[in-house]
Amino acid sequence: MGRDSFSGHSSFVIPQQHYKDAYLALDFVDDDDKSAAENLVDCLEDFAFCLQEASPEAMIFVLDDNNLDTEFDWELMQTLAPFLEVGSFCEEIEFDGNCVYVGTVAVKNNTHFIEMARYELITDDAGRWARGELIAKGDGADWY
- Give the per-residue pLDDT at 1: 36
Rounded CA separation 102/89 (Å): 7
Longest dimension (CA), the chain: 51
91-128 pLDDT, tens digit each: 887 766 688 889 999 999 999 999 999 999 888 888 88
Residue 141 has pLDDT above 70, yes or no: no
Residue 3 has pLDDT above 80, yes or no: no
- Please name every residue paired with 123 in a beta bridge, in sequence order, or none if there are none: 129
45-82 pLDDT, tens digit each: 998 889 999 999 999 998 876 655 666 788 888 999 99
Residue 6 has pLDDT above 60, yes or no: no
Spatial strand order in the sheet of 49-54: 49-54, 58-63, 5-15, 89-94, 99-108, 111-123, 129-139
Kindly give the pairing relationship between strand 5-15 and strand 58-63. antiparallel
